[in-house]
């Protein structure tokens, strides 16, 4: 039985390997000229960059995945400090099991453990919210309050710590003010379990997956932008890119969910009118020479961070004086890197009209230098905008992360993994359950591959 997977991001690669190991014939089609999607990397002028995610969290998820496919998990090192936080003129390095977090970690560990054991590894239904363990522990598994209000209960008079525990909402495509409190479990993943770095970075993780796929016999076709889906008798029979045609028995879309929808008949598309998109981002990849005094991960909050989150909700560019950003400096952990690479990320609203991104990049570089006392010259610079997300990934309105994790888009309220009108069309990745982030997308592939396997057993 032949499976066609469209999109070679983490979700597509993981699903390809899982299904190939179970005996399916698997072909992966990718729009770009290399695999990895948002997790791919690039090298230039002696500098190398991970283009996307750089926080390796929840290592037990990856251990489970690699056990399933009979491969060794990636070699990882623990990042210390976990990250540094700068709020105006105050800064602090945060460590695993940070002092003063004992009660907070005890309660978030409960959420984390309950989610792992009962909910994350299955496609949830609405009735799962009526589970006895949730009903009897609503105070410890809060669904209806926000992450911000949850954090304030533990640190009511400490705005700095509230921000240290609130920025994780950005990982979930939202803000601490609209992300459900139950996602405080992500903070347990950070402060309780630790932050790690895979050997070779995330582009190395992609290479490991691709190599395993190729050894198993997965076929890859690059520069293959699917622009048509052919349907007969409630089944997809082929996908096309110009004059190229690929037929199969089962189709898995790891491409942007909304873009995939535009290739289907109008009467069987999802209703996108009430969907809340996650932010987009301005990314700046800098190759530098000089002195850098920074942690692997640094978060900078400038001015009123709620105003920045409000700008994303309102669909307007952020105010440069009330704008937060993140910086990755991999060489703080990975001394084998030849050059010093810095990646700046500024969250912005999706669907923004083009504006002068360079002004924002210059502002954060200047701020970073001043607050870290770093002194360097920029030898290489590449700015990656919301337009690039749309062009490279067909991302709906240039979103960087897909759907935000609001309550109305959590668990069973996220987009389905199985197309309810077409018998052989499935979806994997950040739009589906359990959601955004490399660990969650990896879980998505585990859930989906088992569902496909079960559906073919007679």
pLDDT, one tens digit per residue, over 367-422 is: 999 999 999 999 999 999 999 999 999 999 999 999 999 999 999 999 999 999 99
Tell me if residue 351 falls in helix, strand or coil: coil
pLDDT in tens, 425-434: 999 999 999 9
Give the pLDDT score at 458.
52
- For residues 167 and 249, membership in a common domain is answered with no
What is the residue-level pLDDT of the chain in tens, covering all 458 positions? 999 999 999 999 999 999 999 999 999 999 999 999 999 999 999 999 999 868 999 999 999 999 999 999 999 999 999 999 999 889 999 999 899 999 999 999 999 999 999 889 999 998 888 788 777 877 788 888 999 999 999 999 999 999 999 999 988 999 999 999 999 999 999 999 999 999 999 999 999 999 999 999 999 999 999 999 999 999 999 999 999 999 999 999 999 999 999 999 999 999 999 999 999 999 999 999 999 999 999 999 999 999 999 999 999 999 999 999 999 999 999 999 988 999 999 999 999 988 899 999 999 999 999 999 999 999 999 999 999 999 999 999 999 999 999 999 999 999 999 999 999 999 999 999 999 999 999 999 999 999 999 988 75
CB burial readout 125-134, b (16+ within 10 A) else e: eeeeeeeeeb
Tell me if residue 219 falls in helix, strand or coil: strand
Which 8-state DSSP code applies to residue 354? P
- Measured CA to CA, the distance from residue 164 to residue 151 in angstroms comes to 10
pLDDT in tens, 220-277: 999 999 999 999 999 999 999 999 999 999 999 999 999 999 999 999 999 999 999 9
Which 8-state DSSP code applies to residue 170? G
Is residue 72 one of the residues assigned to a domain?
Answer: no
- For residues 290 and 372, membership in a common domain is answered with yes
- For residues 270 and 411, membership in a common domain is answered with yes
Give the pLDDT score at 84.
98
Instruction: Give the domain extent around 313.
Output: 277-391
Helix (H), strand (E) at residue 59: helix 59-68
CA angle 416, 257, 130 (to 5 degrees): 25
Dump the DSSP string for 387-422: HHHHHHH--GGG-SSSB---GGGSGGGS--SB-SSS
Of 143, 171, 196, the last residue of a domain is 196
Is residue 39 one of the residues assigned to a domain?
Answer: yes
Burial (CB < 10 A; 0-12, 13-18, 19+), residue 450, is middle
Is residue 89 one of the residues assigned to a domain?
Answer: no
- For residues 409 and 327, membership in a common domain is answered with no
- Measured CA to CA, the distance from residue 314 to residue 127 in angstroms comes to 33
Is residue 426 one of the residues assigned to a domain?
Answer: yes
- For residues 265 and 292, membership in a common domain is answered with no
Give the pLDDT score at 244.
98
314 to 278, 350, 351, 352, 395: CA distances (angstroms):
13, 10, 11, 10, 19
Q: What is the pTM of this model?
A: 0.96
Number of domains in the chain: 3
- For residues 178 and 106, membership in a common domain is answered with yes
Note whether 74 and 208 are within 8 A (CB).
yes
Burial (CB < 10 A; 0-12, 13-18, 19+), residue 435, is buried
- For residues 433 and 377, membership in a common domain is answered with no
- For residues 268 and 360, membership in a common domain is answered with no
């Amino acid at each position: 039985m032949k499976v066609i997977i469209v999109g070679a991001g983490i979700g597509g690669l993981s699903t390809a390997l899982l299904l190939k190991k179970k005996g399916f014939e698997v072909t992966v089609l990718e729009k770009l000229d290399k695999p990895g999607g948002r997790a791919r990397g690039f090298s230039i002028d002696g500098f190398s960059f991970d283009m996307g995610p750089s926080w390796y969290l929840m290592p037990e998820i990856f251990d489970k995945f690699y056990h399933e496919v009979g491969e060794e998990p990636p070699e990882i090192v623990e990042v210390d400090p976990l990250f540094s936080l700068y709020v105006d003129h105050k800064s602090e390095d945060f460590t695993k099991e940070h002092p003063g977090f004992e009660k907070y970690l005890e309660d978030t560990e409960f959420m984390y453990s309950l989610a792992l054991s009962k909910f994350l590894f299955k496609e949830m239904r609405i009735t799962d919210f009526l589970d006895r363990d949730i009903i009897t522990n609503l105070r410890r598994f809060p669904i209806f309050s926000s992450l911000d209000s949850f954090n304030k209960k533990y640190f009511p008079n400490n705005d700095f710590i509230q921000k240290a525990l609130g920025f994780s909402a950005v990982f979930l495509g939202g803000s601490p003010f609209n992300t459900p409190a139950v996602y405080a479990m992500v903070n347990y993943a950070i402060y309780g379990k630790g932050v790690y770095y895979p050997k070779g970075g995330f582009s190395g993780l992609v290479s490991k997956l691709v190599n395993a796929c190729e050894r198993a016999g997965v076929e890859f076709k690059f520069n293959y932008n699917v622009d048509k889906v052919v349907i007969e008798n409630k089944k997809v029979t082929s996908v096309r890119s110009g004059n190229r045609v690929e037929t199969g028995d089962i189709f898995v879309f790891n491409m942007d969910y909304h873009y995939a929808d535009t290739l289907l008949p109008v009467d069987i598309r999802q209703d996108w009118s009430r969907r809340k998109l996650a932010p987009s981002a301005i990314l700046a990849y800098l190759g530098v020479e000089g002195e850098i005094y920074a942690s692997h991960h640094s978060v900078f909050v400038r001015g009123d961070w709620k105003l920045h989150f409000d700008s994303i909700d309102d669909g307007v560019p952020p105010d440069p004086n009330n704008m937060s950003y993140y910086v990755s400096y991999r060489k703080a952990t990975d001394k084998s890197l030849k050059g010093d690479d810095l990646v700046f990320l500024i969250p912005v609203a999706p669907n923004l009209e083009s504006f002068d991104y360079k002004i924002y990049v210059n502002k954060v570089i200047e701020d970073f230098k001043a607050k870290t006392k770093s002194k360097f010259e920029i030898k290489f610079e590449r700015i990656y905008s919301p337009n690039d997300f749309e062009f490279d990934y067909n991302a709906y309105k240039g979103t960087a992360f897909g759907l935000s994790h609001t309550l109305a888009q959590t668990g069973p309220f996220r987009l389905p993994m199985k197309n309810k009108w077409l018998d052989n069309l499935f979806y994997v990745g950040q739009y589906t359950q359990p959601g955004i982030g490399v660990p969650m997308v990896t879980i998505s592939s585990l859930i989906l591959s088992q569902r496909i396997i079960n559906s073919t057993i007679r």
